[in-house]
């Protein structure tokens, strides 16, 4: 745990820790659904656990098993996971000046850089509280996410045909829940347009392209809009030039099951 | 090593490299608003495409089955601010129930 100055700062630190614990429990719990869906899409328990332990980014993990489950090739699965993981690089860039960590802490900090730890850290009033919020949220989710992934994977292993239990529909619902917080509000207008375009592209090309490729092609829609439309306001929980996003952004990122 | 293990390990390495790059790269490289906006939109597009593929395709064909009403139930639950785990469970229960009643 980080060395934090405790004099006069007890309250923000305690508040940060409390927030971290509640976010960790809420996020860690849905590791159950990841574990069950992962074995339903053809990964074994060890591969499922490797994803939660090593990859540790919910959106990328769900994307990988989604592409693999649809029969996609290794390249398409890795590309989908990496593209969804790209936003973690932006979070790292937000966190680096905020946390000002010593080099020795960079590797663990990088591994714990996800939606929720970034949201909690950037919502704190002081650097000390931001550090507490980051480490407690990141480590708390890592432990609980892996614990509940194991529970889900072991349970899913015993279920048999995943369709009988509606697990294929559960996977679709999981993706919907991950994208939902990014579509709301007046700023979500561009996001909703891009989402609609992505759905159309993915469905239109599915009958003619190998599995996994339609999803990547849909990402191309976003790149086109993002690069070519200069006047549009930013979307999603990443603020462009603020080290600390507005409280509304943070609440949206943590409260409604943002992508881990 | 199987293809699945290769996918798991390559993705893990790629995602860790991305996380670390954010901490190490000069900040202004990633602070460009267009980069941030594009990354946010790519996330939205990928997740939306995955919803579509997971709901309405099967082995390269477009199909309409119990997953569609299950997704509608999930959307209503999300609109009512239900927690993630409940949304997922409601979708599964809906699809399983409809299939029990004979829907494909």
Overall number of domains in chain B: 1
CA distance A260 to chain B (A): 12
The DSSP output letter for B62 is: E
CA distance A10 to chain B (A): 28
Q: Which of A29, A109, A238 sits opposite B85 (nearest CB)?
A: A29
Q: Helix B84-100 vs helix B67-79: angle between axes, to the nearest 10 degrees?
A: 150
pLDDT at A117: 96
Confidence label for B4 from pLDDT (cuts 50, 70 and 90): very high
CA distance A12 to chain B (A): 25
Residue A218 has pLDDT above 90, yes or no: yes
Mean pLDDT of chain A: 86
Q: Which of B39, B92, B97 sits opposite A167 (nearest CB)?
A: B92
Helix extents (H) in chain A:
10-29, 31-40, 45-50, 58-69, 74-99, 106-111, 115-122, 127-157, 167-179, 189-205, 213-228, 247-255
**Does A226 fall in a domain?**
no
CB–CB of A194 and B52 under 8 A?
A: no
The verdict on B21 touching A (C-beta cutoff 8 Å) is: yes
pLDDT at A247: 38
- Angstrom distances, CA of residue B22 to CA of A172, B28, B36: 30, 11, 12
Does the ipTM exceed 0.90? yes
A208-231 mean pLDDT: 89
CB–CB of A55 and B12 under 8 A?
A: yes
**Does A80 fall in a domain?**
yes
**Does A157 fall in a domain?**
yes
pLDDT at A26: 87
CA distance A9 to chain B (A): 26
**Does A133 fall in a domain?**
yes
Let me know if B79 is exposed, middle or buried by CB neighbors in 10 A (0-12, 13-18, 19+): exposed
Overall number of domains in chain A: 1
The verdict on B48 touching A (C-beta cutoff 8 Å) is: yes
Tens of pLDDT, residue by residue over A127-183, are 999 999 999 999 999 999 999 999 999 999 888 788 889 999 999 999 999 999 999
Chain B residues touching residue A190 (CB < 8 angstroms): 41
A202-210 mean pLDDT: 96
**Does A48 fall in a domain?**
yes
**Does B25 fall in a domain?**
yes
Q: Helix A74-99 vs helix A213-228: angle between axes, to the nearest 10 degrees?
A: 40
Give the range of the structural domain holding residue B11, as residue numbers without chain letter: 1-31
**Does A40 fall in a domain?**
yes
Confidence label for A260 from pLDDT (cuts 50, 70 and 90): low
Higher pLDDT, A227 or A215: A215
**Does B36 fall in a domain?**
no
Residue A243 has pLDDT above 60, yes or no: no
Share of chain A above pLDDT 90, in %: 73
B78-94 mean pLDDT: 95
Residue A241 has pLDDT above 70, yes or no: no
B75-97 mean pLDDT: 95
Share of chain A above pLDDT 70, in %: 84
Sequence length of chain B is 104
pLDDT at B69: 98
Interface test mutation site (partner A, options B26, B34, B42, B56, max chain A beta carbons within 10 A): B42
A22-38 burial code (b ≥16 CB/10 A, e <16):
ebbebbbbbbbbbbbbb
CB–CB of B18 and A171 under 8 A?
A: no
* Alpha-carbon span B10 to A68, nearest angstrom: 14
Residue A235 has pLDDT above 50, yes or no: no
CB–CB of B37 and A232 under 8 A?
A: yes
Q: Which of A3-7, A35-39, A244-248 has the highest mean pLDDT?
A: A35-39
Kindly report the number of other CB atoms within 10 A of residue A98's CB atom. 17
CB–CB of B49 and A214 under 8 A?
A: yes
CB–CB of B96 and A166 under 8 A?
A: yes
pLDDT at B1: 67
Residue whose pair of structure tokens reads 């690089």 in the numeric block:
A89
**Does B40 fall in a domain?**
no
Confidence label for A242 from pLDDT (cuts 50, 70 and 90): very low
Give the range of the structural domain holding residue A153, as residue numbers without chain letter: 10-178+242-255
pLDDT at A252: 38
* Alpha-carbon span A146 to A144, nearest angstrom: 5
**Does A183 fall in a domain?**
no
- Token representation of residue A85: 């993981």
**Does B16 fall in a domain?**
yes
Contact A127, A100 (CB under 8 A): yes
**Does A196 fall in a domain?**
no
Chain A residues touching residue B45 (CB < 8 angstroms): 194-195, 197-198, 218-219, 221-222
Tens of pLDDT, residue by residue over B34-73, are 888 888 899 999 999 999 999 999 989 999 999 999 999 9
pLDDT at A230: 62
Within its chain, how far is the Cα of A116 from the centroid?
8
């Amino acid at each position: 745990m980080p060395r934090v100055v405790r004099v006069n700062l007890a309250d923000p630190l305690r508040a940060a820790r409390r927030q971290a614990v509640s976010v960790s429990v809420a996020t860690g719990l849905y590791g159950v659904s990841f574990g069950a869906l992962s074995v339903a899409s053809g990964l074994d328990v060890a591969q499922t656990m490797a994803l939660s332990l090593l990859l540790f980014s919910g959106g990328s993990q769900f994307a990988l098993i989604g592409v693999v489950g649809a029969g996609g090739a290794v390249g398409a699965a890795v590309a989908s996971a990496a593209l969804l993981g790209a936003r973690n690089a932006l979070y790292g860039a937000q966190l680096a000046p905020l946390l000002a960590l010593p080099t020795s802490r960079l590797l663990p900090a990088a591994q714990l850089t996800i939606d929720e730890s970034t949201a909690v850290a950037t919502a704190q009033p002081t650097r000390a509280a931001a550090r507490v919020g980051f480490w407690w949220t990141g480590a708390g989710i890592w432990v609980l996410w892996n614990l509940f992934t194991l529970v889900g994977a072991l349970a899913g292993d015993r279920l048999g045909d995943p369709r009988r239990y509606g697990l294929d529909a559960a996977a679709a619902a999981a993706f919907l829940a991950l994208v939902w917080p990014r579509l709301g509000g007046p700023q979500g207008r561009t996001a909703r347009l891009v989402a609609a375009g992505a759905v159309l592209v993915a469905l239109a090309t599915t009958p003619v392209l190998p599995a996994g490729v339609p999803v990547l092609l849909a990402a191309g829609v976003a790149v086109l809009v993002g690069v070519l439309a200069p006047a549009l306001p930013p979307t999603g929980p990443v603020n462009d030039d603020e080290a600390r996003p507005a409280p509304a952004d943070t609440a949206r990122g943590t409260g409604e099951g943002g992508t881990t | 090593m199987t293809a699945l293990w290769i996918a798991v390990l390559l993705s893990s390495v790629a995602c860790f490299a991305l996380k670390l790059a954010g901490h190490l790269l000069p900040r202004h490289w990633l602070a460009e608003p267009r980069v941030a906006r594009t990354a946010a939109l790519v996330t939205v597009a990928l997740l939306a495409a995955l919803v579509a593929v997971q709901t309405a395709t099967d082995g390269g064909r477009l199909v309409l089955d119990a997953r569609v009403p299950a997704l509608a139930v999930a959307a209503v639950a999300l609109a009512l601010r239900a927690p993630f785990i409940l949304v997922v469970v409601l979708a599964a229960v809906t699809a399983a129930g409809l299939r029990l009643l004979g829907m494909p």
